Amino acid sequence: MQMPADAPVLICSAKGCRDVAVHALLWNNPSLHTEDRRKIWLACDEHREHLEEFLRLRGFLRDTVDAHAIPDGAG
């Protein structure tokens, strides 16, 4: 899919980070969300591992995709 010229710049979700996000972490908290729900954290290269580890430790991490390949309905 072609990105429109005015597509918003995606910014890393890490606290205090203003870098452009290149990864999207898809996660789900089973105590809050139905199993097919996907929440998104955006991450720059530097913070991807840290954010993935945070979610993985809690059993929330489902997938990591390209920031421009976020599935429809996630968020």
Q: Which is nearer to Zn ion, 25 or 26 (CB)?
A: 25
Structure tokens at 49: 């591992």
- Please answer whether residues 11 and 19 qualify as being in contact, where contact means their C-beta atoms are separated by less than 8 angstroms: yes
Residue in 24, 26, 41, 47 binding Zn ion, rule: CB under 5 A = 47
Residue in 10, 14, 24, 25 binding Zn ion, rule: CB under 5 A = 14
In the complex, least distance from residue 11 CB atom to Zn ion, rounded to whole angstroms: 8
- Work out whether 24 is an interface residue with Zn ion (CB under 5 A): no
Applying CB under 5 A, which residues contact Zn ion?
12, 14, 17, 19, 44, 47
